[in-house]
Each structure stands twice: as structure tokens, then as C-alpha cells.
Amino acid sequence: MATSGGNYRNGTHKSSMKVDRSLSLNSNPKPSVKSKSLPSSGPRRNSTGSLAGGAAKDNAEVPGRVRVAVRLRPRNAEELVADADFADCVELQPELKRLKLRKNNWDSDTYEFDEVLTEFASQKRVYEVVAKPVVESVLDGYNGTIMAYGQTGTGKTYTLGRLGEEDTAARGIMVRAMEDILADVSFETDSVSVSYLQAPYTYMQLYMETIQDLLDPANDNIPIVEDPKTGDVSVPGASLVKIRDQQSFLELLRLGEAHRFAANTKLNTESSRSHAILMVQVKRAVKERDSAFSSENGISSQMKTLKPPIVRKGKLVVVDLAGSERIDKSGSEGHTLDEAKSINLSLSALGKCINALAENSAHVPVRDSKLTRLLKDSFGGTARTSLVITIGPSPRHRGETASTIMFGQRAMKVENMLKLKEEFDYKSLSRRLDIQLDKLIAEHERQQKAFEDEIERINIEAQNRISEFERNHADALEKERLKYQKDYMESIKKLEEQLVKNQQKNGSEKVPVGLKDDGSALTSNTKSSKLSAVEEVAELKKLLQKESLLRKAAEEEINNLKSQIAQWKRSEASGNSEILKLRKILADEASQKEKLEGEIGILQSQLLQLSFDADETRRRLDRGGSGKVPGGLESLMSQVKHHQQDSGNGGTGEKASIAKLFEQVGLQKILSLLEAEDSDVRIHAVKVVANLAAEGESMAKCLGLPSCLSLAALELEMNQEKIVQAGGLTSLLMLLRSSEDETIHRVAAGAIANLAMNETNQELIMSQGGIGLLSMTAANAEDPQTLRMVAGAIANLCGNDKLQMKLRDEGGIKALLGMVRCRHPDVLAQVARGIANFAKCESRASTQGTKTGRSLLIEDGALSWIVQNANNEASPIRRHIELALCHLSQHEANAKDMISGGALWELVRISRDCAREDIRTLAHRTLTSSPTFQAEMRRLRIDY
């Protein structure tokens, strides 16, 4: 409020520091809300936000006050004359951001604003200090409002609506804002591109409580629609036009102005009697690293293609309000009076809302007028809002100026909670994945077919060539053989004939020789026959030589043929090796195919996981600022169940996709992914296994079975059995050992905790060194959720009678007690549950006589923690501890230690005050049946 002489509103810079800090406290890197010129500030107005709670991470709410600037119009021609002898009614001190409103010649009131713009302020500067931060917010995915308030003729339209066609420097806020928006967005229609924009806008005027579309003036009673869930206000009935460039925007503005002029002429009014509202909706695809969602899982580069595109939706509303002057002054009457009332109605409703908000009043009369309904989000909502109040210098309008200033002062007290409007575009991711998948499948099929054809062809060709060679060679060989056989036979025949001839010759000559009658005659005869014999021998020799030459040639020919055959054989062998090579390629192809199928599986599981996460996110968003950490060991189960409840009918489809995934990918494959190299894949696989381990009801549902409880339990058991049979439990335990990733530890421990609900699994976990691994995980973990899971798993194991000794010997109790270092109530509740389970088994064993001596819990030093927490304010912790105390006290061997440890007092308290009757009775019974306790109570004179 204004005060006299130099006393002014408290600066808000201190609190603006506060905002920065709370932003940086946020574990998620938020897109910075650029607020150089008009820093957001001030403590939160009320507790609607959840900045301190866990949900703030996804809600991205940032507090911010409505920023108010005041702009003084220079004296106009008339004022220069009429007010020539008078001083201006205001004096500005822009460097101090103060305005002095003159009361009289010697006294004035001082007011402080976020910006004080003198009559010399350029349009550019006005845009930069008033509008630019809002426009930048809108581009970052917030809603933003810029409005001008002031008496008619003080420069509202000048500030907001000047087109500046004759002088660029005169361009107003609307034109400059659109320039900035258009410069910052990409028009790529390709959904793959990094950013794209739809910048539709609506331009209408609010007149006599009806909303008229200035782009389609016939459309003059447009309803306001409010989304019951988000509270977002919209006017879906108004024309939405896509803007691609500044020129088309200017044309629309001109068209709007023309329609406004025509409509007002028809109604015999002026445009200053109506509110002009320009709405610009900006929808952008966000780069991964800029997103508020991005750091959640530390997505690797491989995963990036799997992230659904994120879209941010920002809405910029620019409002040129009707003149704020009082009706009586403007001398309205008749129709104009109605109209003025109506204008006053909406303006005065706006004033009332701002008063209510500034005073933190419980009721804000938003519904009193259409204007306030439409601007609901701009004051005290989730939009960043800048208000420029315009004033004139003339002392004649001092009253108007003063009331305008008061309006601005009150608006400065209004606190908004900015909310980032960011969401995953799952549809387009799914579309992209589907296309990618189908492409891969088709490509693979084509390649495989081509390979098979090629191999077939080569095979046939080789076969043909071999058989052709074989045929040719057999023929040639046979021919040669026959030829030589024939030659040989002929020459033998010739020789035989020759021989016969010779023998005959020799035989006829021998007779006379043997007679030896006439020696002379004989001698001459013998001589001639001898000669012919020699000739014959020579001839034979020649023949023989020829024969042997021929034979040699034949042999050579045969060798030649043999070597040719060898060569053919070699080429056949090389043909065979080529076939082998092709076979190998085919095998490689097949394994490639298998790998691709595996990848498809991963893709599907990741998609599934993403949709889980998204649902989780959505739910958290829906829950708003509750900031409550989900309790109980069964968080994974509840995650799945919630998911089911939330998604309603749609959920069945998604469940069906789990079943489908389960069927298609196969548990074995999912489990094998637990050892994948990529840690993201590993995390996803562990999450899927964890979900399966926690999922019964949903499986029943997706199989189309009625989701009765027993069936759900049966399904859960079936799932768990399948996981264990397929070696999933072993893999999960291995992960605790081998992985260093805390997320994996948390999810794996959660899955183990779920599996550890079953007795057979408990024994398996123990026999595989589970206690050691869980203890190790507990010792290294810092995240309370990890500790909660580990404690839950051990707590389940504590409830198994057969495993008591082993569990203790392997350090189970010590591990449990070690986890109380984390003071998170969920962790403590699990520790308490483990202790109660253990104590119950022990008391059973001692009743049966199988256990003697002190409790192992006491041996391991649990008693002091038990006593300290017996009256813990968190009821789950208290209840378990109370039970544990009752169980411990049933065994006389523990009584002494319990007395010295202070447990007796607690027992007495429990027996008297415990809200649960069964526990109360149990405590009472144990106290009265123990002689040691009885004696001590007598000694202490406790009346019992």
C-alpha cells in the first residue's frame, strides 16, 4: 500500500533469492525460467504447490509474483495546451523504480513498481522489460499473460497493439512477441526433427459479456470451456489459424482490427469499450537434454531413440483491457450505459479477484464475469503474468491515475505458481518404433530370401558343371581306350601273321637242309633265305620301334588326361568350399536374425517400461503436491496395480501387452537381459522381472479371467515360480554382487523381496548366499528405497522357522540393525517387521522346546533399538516392535536382559495403552506368567 513521503513497499529481492535456491534444490535440472528483467519473487501465496515435496520434480512448479510495470504517456497536443500551466500529476524515478503521485504542491505518495517506464521509454525497451520474459517462458512450456490496464487514451493499445508498419521502432508487444516466437521455433513438419511449432492463435473481443471471434465475427457467442482435471481454460469454439510467418500474422491482426472496428461501428461503440485478447499457443518438441524428464533414468545414447518425443505447450495471452475510467465521467447513457456497466462488471470483477488474491482471501470470485473466468489462470494461477498499467500525465485525470496505480499495486501482491506444460508424445514414439520394426523385419526377410536364392543358384551351377565335366571326360577316355585297343589288336594281328609267314617259310626250307644230298645247291638256297630272314628281322625291329613309339604317345595322352581330371577335381573341390562358405554366411544371417529378434524384444520391453514410467509420472502429476512416498514393501506391486486402476479400460490393453511381451520375448530372454552389457537395458530387464514378480492380478486380467483375489494370488505364484525356475532368482542375486548401479540394486532387491514371500524361494535365497549379498547391498546403499527393499527381503526371510540359525550366523540380524542408520520410516518399518518375524519364530521354537538360551536378537544387540522404538510415532514401526517385545518376553531366558534393557516398562505400557486389543492381552499374559517379571514388578512396586 502507498504511504506518504518516501515510505514505500518493501522490496522483494530477498525473496527472489529464495526462489532461485528452491529451484536449485530441485534434483531435476529445470529449464531455467528466464527472468532477468522481472525476477520472480516472493514466498508462495498458499500451499497449493508442492515445491518442497517429491512431486515437484515432475510438476515443475515455480512460484512467481505477477510483475507490474507502469508506463507514462507523454503529454498529447491537447494537454500541452490545456495543462501548460500545471505540473504533471506524477513524477517518475525510474532508477529507483518509484512513482510519486502528487497530492498537492507539497505532498505526494510514493509507490514502487517492478518497472517504471517514463514517457521517453522506447517500444523496444517496454517489450524487453514487460513482455520478453513472459514470451521466453511460453517458449519454455509455461503459460504466460501480458495485459495492459488503464484509462482510455493512456496508451494500452499503443503499448500492445501497434503494428509499426510505417515505423519499425513503433512495433508493439504483440508484433514483437510473435517475431520472437517465430524466430525461436522450427517449422520442420518431420516429426523426427528436434523442434517444430504449431502457433495457432485466437483473437477475439469480450464485449457485453459475450465472446466474439474477431477472425470470424459471425461467431459471436463463444463459450468458455474449463478442463475439470487441469483447470485449463480454453475457447475451443474460436477459430484457430496456423501461423507460418510474420506477414500472415500481421494480416490476421489487421483483419482482426478491421472486424473489431466494423463490429463496434455496427453497435455504435468504440473499441476502447471492449477487451481484446490475443492467444498464441506454442507447441514444441523438446530436445532430450532440455527436458524436465530427462535426467530421471540417465538415459544412454542408445536409449535416446526410444525416448518418446517430449512436447511442451505454452500459451501466451495478450489482453488489451477496456478503458478503466468511471462511467459517470465518460457520460454514457442508453445502450452505452448497459455496455459500460458490462465493461465495468468484468473490470470490477477483475479488480475484486485481484483484491481477494492480494489479501490471500479464501474465496476468489473468478466466476463473476467471463473476463475473469478467461484470465483465471493469469492471476493466481499457473501462468507467468506481466501487467503494464498505463497512465497519462494530466492532473485533470488524477483520480483515474490514482485508481489505476492502486490496481497495479494490488496486482503486485498476487502470487502465481508457474507450471511446466510438458508431456511425452507416446503416440509418435510408438509409431516410430513400429515403423522401424517393420522395416527391419521386411529388410531381414528380403535379405534372407536373396541369400537362399543365391546359394541355390550356385549349387545348381556347380552341380551342372561337375556332371558336364565328368561326362566329357568319360567319353574322351573311352574313345582313346578303344582307339588304342584297336591299334594294339591290329599290330598284334600283323605280328602274328608275320610270324606265321616266317614259320612257314622256315619250315619248307628246313627239309632239304636236313637231307644234305646236294651241298652246293643247298648252300646257295640257304644263303638267300638267310638274307631274307635278316631283312625280315630288321623290318620287325622297325615295326616294334614304331609300336613302342605309338605306345609312348598313348601313355602320354593318358597322363595328360589324368592331369586334366586332377585339375577338374581341384576345381570341384573349390566349388565345394564356396558352397561351404555360403552355408556359413547363411548361418550368420540366421544368427543375425535371432539377434534382431532379441533386440525387438528389448525394444518392446523398454517401450513397456517407458509406459510404466509414464503412467507413474502421470499419476504423480495427477496426485499433485501430496509429495507422499508410497509406503510398504509392496510398492512394486502397488505400482502395477495402480497402473491398472488408473488406466481403467485402457489398462487391459496395456496388460495384454505385458502378456504378449511375456509370450513373444520369453522369460528366458528377459532374464538373459539381466546380464546385458548396457546398464539401461539391465535396469529395464530388472524392472520387468520385478514387475512380473509382483504381478498376479494383472496377468489374470489380461488372460481374460475374472480378477478374483485367489486367482490373482495363484497367478502371482505362477509367475514367481516361472521366474525362479528359469534361474531368475539366481540372476537377481548375481546382480546384487556384480552390479554397482544403485537403481539395479534397488529394483533387484525389490524383486527378491517379492520372491522371498514364498517359503521355497526363501530356502533358495539362503542357499545361494542371499544374506551375505543383501547385507553387502545394505552396507553400500544410501538410497532409502534400496534399503527398504533389502530390509523387506530380510524381513521376509526372518519369518521362516527353518532358517533362523543360518540367517543369524550369516549376519542377517546385524545387517537389519545396520540399516537403522537410515532414519527413513519405511526402512525402519521393514527392520521392525523383520525383528518381529524373527522373534515370533523364536518364541515358537522355544515353546516347542527346540530353542533354549537367550534370544539371538538379544545376542546380536537388537534390544536397545527395540526399546527405543517401542513407542515410535509411526504406527507400522510401533506395532511390529510391540509384537516383537511380546514374543521375546514369552521366553523366561530373555527376562533378565529385558529388565536391564528397560523393556519391562515398555511391556507394562503396551499391556495398558496399546490400541490393539490382541497385543495388549498378549503383553498382559506374558507379564503375569513370567516369575522374573513378576518379581521385578513387585520390587519396583508396580501394581499389577
Interface residues with ligand ADP (CB under 6 A) are 73-74, 76, 150, 152-158, 272, 323, 390
202 binds, among Mg ion, ligand ADP, none (CB under 5 to 8 A by kind): none
In the complex, minimum distance from the CB of residue 297 to Mg ion, in angstroms, rounded to a whole number: 51
Q: Which residues of 886-909 are buried (b: 16+ CB within 10 A; e: fewer)?
A: bbbbbbeebbeebbebebbebbbe
Number of Cβ within 10 Å of residue 558's Cβ equals: 14
**Closer by beta carbon to ligand ADP, 76 or else 239:** 76
155 binds, among ligand ADP, Mg ion, none (CB under 5 to 8 A by kind): ligand ADP
154 binds, among ligand ADP, Mg ion, none (CB under 5 to 8 A by kind): ligand ADP
In the complex, minimum distance from the CB of residue 166 to ligand ADP, in angstroms, rounded to a whole number: 12
**Closer by beta carbon to ligand ADP, 154 or else 926:** 154
User: Is residue 889 close enough to count as binding Mg ion by CB under 5 A?
Assistant: no
In the complex, minimum distance from the CB of residue 329 to ligand ADP, in angstroms, rounded to a whole number: 14
In the complex, minimum distance from the CB of residue 73 to Mg ion, in angstroms, rounded to a whole number: 12
The backbone torsions φ and ψ at residue 532, rounded to the nearest 5 degrees and listed phi first, read: -65, -35
Cβ atoms 735, 790 nearer than 8 A: no
For 680, the grid coordinates are: 539401461
**Closer by beta carbon to ligand ADP, 153 or else 696:** 153
Handedness of CA 219, 223, 224, 229 (dihedral sign): negative
Cβ atoms 384, 144 nearer than 8 A: yes
In the complex, minimum distance from the CB of residue 208 to ligand ADP, in angstroms, rounded to a whole number: 19
How far apart, in Å, do the first and last CA atoms of the chain sit?
67
Strands, E assignment, 113-262: 115-117, 143-150, 197-198, 200-207, 210-213, 225-226, 233-234, 241-242
In the complex, minimum distance from the CB of residue 323 to ligand ADP, in angstroms, rounded to a whole number: 6
**Closer by beta carbon to ligand ADP, 261 or else 594:** 261
Helix (H, G, I), strand (E, B) or coil at 313: strand
150 binds, among Mg ion, ligand ADP, none (CB under 5 to 8 A by kind): ligand ADP
* Euclidean distance between CA atoms 944 and 933, whole angstroms: 11
Q: What angle do CA 102, 103, 109 make, to 5 degrees?
A: 65
Q: Which residue is nearest to ligand ADP (CB)?
A: 155
**Closer by beta carbon to Mg ion, 208 or else 749:** 208
In the complex, minimum distance from the CB of residue 80 to ligand ADP, in angstroms, rounded to a whole number: 12
**Closer by beta carbon to Mg ion, 161 or else 408:** 161
Number of Cβ within 10 Å of residue 187's Cβ equals: 14
DSSP 199: -
For 595, the grid coordinates are: 539377434
Q: Between the CA of residue 696 and those of 405, 520, 551, 589, 603, what are the distances in Å? A: 65, 137, 92, 39, 24
For 446, the grid coordinates are: 528380403
Q: Which residues of 136-156 are buried (b: 16+ CB within 10 A; e: fewer)?
A: bbbbbbbbbbbbbbbbbbbbb
Q: Which residue is nearest to Mg ion (CB)?
A: 157
In the complex, minimum distance from the CB of residue 322 to ligand ADP, in angstroms, rounded to a whole number: 9
Q: Which residues are annotated as a binding site?
A: 150-157
In the complex, minimum distance from the CB of residue 262 to Mg ion, in angstroms, rounded to a whole number: 16
In the complex, minimum distance from the CB of residue 151 to ligand ADP, in angstroms, rounded to a whole number: 7
390 binds, among Mg ion, ligand ADP, none (CB under 5 to 8 A by kind): ligand ADP
In the complex, minimum distance from the CB of residue 19 to ligand ADP, in angstroms, rounded to a whole number: 32
**Closer by beta carbon to ligand ADP, 115 or else 906:** 115
314 binds, among Mg ion, ligand ADP, none (CB under 5 to 8 A by kind): none
Residue 299: which residues within 8 A CB-CB, separation 6 or more?
A: 288, 307, 680
158 binds, among Mg ion, ligand ADP, none (CB under 5 to 8 A by kind): ligand ADP
Q: Which residues of 322-359 are buried (b: 16+ CB within 10 A; e: fewer)?
A: bbbbeeeebebeeebeebbebbbbbbebbbbbbbbbbe
**Closer by beta carbon to ligand ADP, 79 or else 615:** 79
74 binds, among ligand ADP, Mg ion, none (CB under 5 to 8 A by kind): ligand ADP
Residue 724: which residues within 8 A CB-CB, separation 6 or more?
A: 755, 760, 761, 764
**Closer by beta carbon to ligand ADP, 154 or else 872:** 154
**Closer by beta carbon to Mg ion, 30 or else 275:** 275
Size of interface with Mg ion, in residues (CB under 5 A): 3
846 binds, among ligand ADP, Mg ion, none (CB under 5 to 8 A by kind): none
> For residues 266-295, which are near Mg ion according to CB under 5 A?
272
**Closer by beta carbon to ligand ADP, 167 or else 677:** 167
Number of Cβ within 10 Å of residue 917's Cβ equals: 8
For 918, the grid coordinates are: 490382541
Piece of 150-158, 288-296, 339-347, 480-488 that binds Mg ion (CB under 5 A): 150-158
Piece of 135-143, 152-160, 547-555, 739-747 that binds Mg ion (CB under 5 A): 152-160
Cβ atoms 28, 617 nearer than 8 A: no
**Closer by beta carbon to Mg ion, 156 or else 312:** 156
Q: What angle do CA 87, 91, 95 make, to 5 degrees?
A: 150
One-letter amino acid for residue 446 of the chain = R
Q: Which residues are annotated as a binding site for ATP?
A: 150-157
Cβ atoms 283, 313 nearer than 8 A: yes
In the complex, minimum distance from the CB of residue 825 to ligand ADP, in angstroms, rounded to a whole number: 59
Piece of 264-272, 369-377, 690-698, 743-751 that binds Mg ion (CB under 5 A): 264-272
Helices in 359-384 by DSSP H: which ranges? 370-374
DSSP 23: H
In the complex, minimum distance from the CB of residue 386 to Mg ion, in angstroms, rounded to a whole number: 18
* Euclidean distance between CA atoms 162 and 934, whole angstroms: 93
* DSSP for 709-735, written as a single string: HHHHHHHHHHHHHHHHHTTHHHHHHHH
For 719, the grid coordinates are: 509367475
**Closer by beta carbon to ligand ADP, 67 or else 71:** 71
User: Is residue 157 close enough to count as binding Mg ion by CB under 5 A?
Assistant: yes
In the complex, minimum distance from the CB of residue 128 to ligand ADP, in angstroms, rounded to a whole number: 15
**Closer by beta carbon to ligand ADP, 160 or else 903:** 160
Cβ atoms 117, 423 nearer than 8 A: no
The set of long-range contacts for 213-218, using a CB threshold of 8 Å and a minimum separation of 24, is 213/237, 213/238, 213/239, 214/255, 214/256, 214/257, 214/259, 214/260, 214/263, 214/276, 215/239, 215/241, 215/252, 215/255, 215/256, 215/259, 217/259, 217/262, 217/263
Q: Which residues bind Mg ion (CB under 5 A)?
A: 156-157, 272
